[in-house]
Amino acid sequence: MGYKYNKEDILNVGYDVFRRNGYHNVGINQILKESGIPKGSFYNFFESKEDFAQQVIEQYGENNRCWMKDYFEECTLSALECLKSFYALMINLNEKDDYSGGCLVNNMSVEVGRQNDVIASEANQHFIGWLNVLASVVSKGQENNEITSEFSALEIAEYLHAGFYGVLSRTKVTRNRVYMDTWFEMTFKLIGA
Amino acid sequence: MGYKYNKEDILNVGYDVFRRNGYHNVGINQILKESGIPKGSFYNFFESKEDFAQQVIEQYGENNRCWMKDYFEECTLSALECLKSFYALMINLNEKDDYSGGCLVNNMSVEVGRQNDVIASEANQHFIGWLNVLASVVSKGQENNEITSEFSALEIAEYLHAGFYGVLSRTKVTRNRVYMDTWFEMTFKLIGA
DNA sequence: ATAAAATTAAACCACTCGGTCTAATTAAGG
DNA sequence: CCTTAATTAGACCGAGTGGTTTAATTTTAT
């Protein structure tokens, strides 16, 4: 079929560009320039900008879910320590962008989640996938008596997830990790058994 | 000076439009149409779209800070109960938009906080103002022994604030209050003394 | 009343946007 | 090798962007 350009490569460029610059602030031409493909080829792969963005989220969301799953499966620490090391890693990963890049799916949700049902539901679907991965680890931590059982595993997963997103919003404008570290310390102290 | 149009009214229209639709998704023409003023008049008041957005944030940020301050000053409950009633009210206010409108300053931060230093610092400044109001109430709650003293009042204020923002992100795509209520319950249980 | 300053009004500008179209090129099948 | 289908290529399109300009109107000061 295709012979020169690779859909996945274009999606990866889209991921980078959208995550750093948002959706409406980015034109198709910017994607074309950064991925080095002409417009005709782009519209051969994707129906529209919206369709493209949806597929970007889809690919990233699924890749990230698998990555998380593997991370926790390979982690040899206790469930709670796995979660802590995961979030510590997440915080470190944000250093590259001066803590202002954030998460693509969160950024997209906030920017267009209200007007664009297609992107909103795509985003929500992937959130749910991630939350289930987190919840399974939380659940183990509850069995270990490391994590409070006052709330369900999924509720605690949502709590971790939404809390971290709130922090990402804050660091978008503070542009340093100070509050990320405080959030980390507070959250894991509070959800302890 | 001015005789027909009122700067504050245009800013209020800007607040509504930007909050619901974001920054880059909104053109000056939309602001003009909804506020019923011609372009010439707009550029008589504001230097540019960016300048306009900055002033929108400025006005809303300051109004909101005063509103919060008054709310807590007039609240006759205990400090913790004041905080709870405040967030309960915040959650209810979001019902109007099917829980997908969010906070203007948060939305702006996430959308343009990374690229636009002017808007980022304006947003951050108002966050800090709000956080100080919250922190003063938290502080009273700590004196009452209603709220944990394991962390500083400002840290807890940030925790509440960022947590609520994370929840706003989530409801942008879930579009219902379920998780807002869970967050409320969890947070206030966790920060209790 | 009149001159000067401020404001209102909208036509207009260059530019960019997402998307289409047609032609050339390449790949695959018989 | 030749036909057919898919892909590549980018010029092109109408609509909309933020912003400027110029003229008319209204306010203020004299």
Q: Which positions on strand C lie below 7 Å from a protein C-beta?
A: 6-12, 16-23, 26-28
List, for residues B20-32, the tens digit of each pLDDT value: 999 999 999 999 9
Report the C-alpha gap between A93 and B81 in whole angstroms: 38
Instruction: Say if the Cβ atoms of B166 and A170 lie within 8 Å.
Output: no
List, for residues A130-175, the tens digit of each pLDDT value: 999 999 999 999 999 999 999 999 999 999 999 999 999 999 999 9
The percentage of chain B sitting over the pLDDT mark of 70, rounded to a whole number, equals 98
CA of B63 to C1' of D27 (A): 31
Averaged confidence pLDDT in chain A = 95
Q: At A32, is the pLDDT very low, low, confident or very high (cuts 50, 70, 90)?
A: very high
Q: Tell me which protein residue sits closest to nucleotide D6, measuring alpha carbon to C1'.
A: A1
Q: Once rounded to an integer, what is the mean pLDDT over residues B161-166?
A: 96
User: Which are the contacts of A78, defined by CB distance < 8 A and separation ≥ 6?
Assistant: A141, A144, A146
**Which nucleotide has its C1' atom closest to residue B43's CA?**
D19
Residue B104 contacts residue B39 (beta carbons within 8 Å): no
CA of B46 to C1' of D25 (A): 21
User: Is pLDDT above 70 for A187?
Assistant: yes
- What distance lies between CA A113 and its chain's CA centroid? 15
CA of A40 to C1' of D13 (A): 15
DSSP-based helix, strand, coil % in chain A, nearest 5: 75, 0, 25
